[in-house]
Amino acid sequence: MDSALPSSEPRYSVVGSNVSLTPRQRTLIGLAEELGPRFAERAERYDREASFPFENYAELRAAGLLGLCVPEKFGGMGADLKTYSLVSATLGKYCGATALTFNMHACSTLWPGVLADDLEMTPEQRAEHERYRAVHFERVVRQGAVYAQPFSEGSAAAAGKAPFGTTAAKVDGGWLINGKKIFASLAGAADYYGVLCTEDKPERTMRDTLYMAVPGNSSGLEITGDWDPLGMRGTVSRTLLFNDVFVPDDAQMMPRGVYFQAASRWPHMFTTLSPTYMGIAIAAYAFTVRYLRGEVSGMPPVKRRMYPTKQIAVAEMHVKLEQTRALFLRMLDDARVDPSKDARLRAYATQFTVMENANDLCRLAIRTCGGQSMLKNLPLERLYRDSRCGALMLPWTAELCLDRIGREALYEPGEADD
């Protein structure tokens, strides 16, 4: 996004106008808006080099935002899923790779934090969880640690259809982890990798999923493969290999069985990638308006807004953006444990809409603004490439959202054809 963009213009904000926000939400969105222009200035370099946005993380840390979703009783800001999403989408307007990687970190605190508070645990499990999560939150809040969230393996596991192939075997005082994770955003940059794996035991099922924090400097952990993708290049999502990596008992980010419960009962936990792309969609629209008005800094002040075809194209983009934003905001109000079927279907529909429309808005933006707009000295071509990645991200890819909507709209749980 043009870093000079007026953040006071409601059309370019994540919520638009006339949406009621808590004072805390307003402050946190304001904080992200303050950081954003500097993130936008650095975005071109991270993209060109496919390098991690370390400077942006230093600023997120200094602003206290690494603890955004850490509950207040553990010293964090206590943001819930909606508040997190509004902040994340605001960051996404300025640097997609920063927002996307921030998602991996923030969810590593949101899931064991406010989300886990809604889940059923025995008193023993609850006590165990309190003990373990205190360790993780302490690292984030006091030491400024960054967590990644690698769960993709190139199998059906990341789609939520099979147990993870990466295993954790119980040993004295901890666990031994073995396996492989692909597309691990923050590879080499994270202090801890929040790894989803399966307890090593006979007849493993998805109920045996464990969520473990593996220190980045663990012996037996190797980062391999190169990273030269189409978009989201600053995420540095390389491959992790785990070869007998030992972690202590308190590496567990959720007690046994609780991740499976979260994935079944708190489906909105999988919507948290969409805010990044909501931000990119807004950025593409805002760029187009400013470009056609001759207001993009560093460009000659040539106006192109007087051509009827441009006006129609902007109108089409405006309609698509409003539809996307409206559904996004509606979905955030649904987010809770055990949502209704209607809300669950809307969550899939929102993820599909945000991911597909972000890319379509970028496509329309380039077609409308024309050849000069896609040169590398302007952000639009990067927005276009970054936006292409959203629909591919598991577990809720655009395809899998359609798959789930179609099936769940036509069948009740457990229902079969005669």
Ligand X SMILES: Cc1cc2nc3c(=O)[nH]c(=O)nc-3n(C[C@H](O)[C@H](O)[C@H](O)COP(=O)(O)OP(=O)(O)OC[C@H]3O[C@@H](n4cnc5c(N)ncnc54)[C@H](O)[C@@H]3O)c2cc1C
Between 132 and 164, CB nearer to ligand X? 164
**211 phi/psi in degrees, rounded to 5:** -125, 110
Within 49-78, the residues that bind ligand X by CB under 6 A are none
The Cβ of residue 20 has, within 10 Å, a number of other Cβ atoms equal to 7
Nearest CA-CA partner of 243 in 184, 167, 188, 171: 167
| DSSP letter assigned to residue 9 | -
Cβ–Cβ < 8 Å for 3, 94: yes
Among 181-189, 205-213, 216-224, 377-385, the segment contacting ligand X (CB under 6 A)? 181-189
Residues in the chain: 418
The verdict on 232 binding ligand X (CB under 6 A) reads yes
The verdict on 225 binding ligand X (CB under 6 A) reads no
Q: Please, where are the H alpha helices in 111-234?
A: 116-117, 123-143
Among 106-114, 152-160, 204-212, 274-282, the segment contacting ligand X (CB under 6 A)? 152-160
> Does residue 193 sit in helix, strand or coil?
strand
Cβ–Cβ < 8 Å for 212, 366: no
Q: How many residues bind ligand X (CB under 6 A)?
A: 24
Q: Which of 112, 150, 216, 279 binds ligand X (CB under 6 A)?
A: 150
Smallest gap from residue 8 Cβ to ligand X (A): 31
Nearest CA-CA partner of 153 in 184, 122, 177: 184
Smallest gap from residue 123 Cβ to ligand X (A): 32
Within 97-116, the residues that bind ligand X by CB under 6 A are 104
Q: Which of 399, 406, 409, 411 binds ligand X (CB under 6 A)?
A: 399
Smallest gap from residue 278 Cβ to ligand X (A): 16
Smallest gap from residue 136 Cβ to ligand X (A): 17
> Does residue 119 sit in helix, strand or coil?
coil
Between 156 and 375, CB nearer to ligand X? 156
Q: Which of 35, 60, 91, 158 binds ligand X (CB under 6 A)?
A: 158
Dist. CA 127–CA 274, nearest whole Å:
33
Q: Which of 156, 312, 326, 375 binds ligand X (CB under 6 A)?
A: 156
Between 149 and 288, CB nearer to ligand X? 149
Dist. CA 284–CA 134, nearest whole Å:
40
At 116, the amino acid letter reads: A
Beta bridge partners of 246: 176
Q: Within 13 Å and on the Cβ side, how many CA atoms surround 177?
A: 33
Within 314-333, the residues that bind ligand X by CB under 6 A are none
Between 132 and 183, CB nearer to ligand X? 183
Between 316 and 360, CB nearer to ligand X? 360
Question: Which residues of the chain form contacts with ligand X (CB under 6 A)?
Answer: 104, 149-152, 154, 156, 158-159, 161, 183-185, 232, 235, 237, 389, 392-394, 397, 399-400, 403
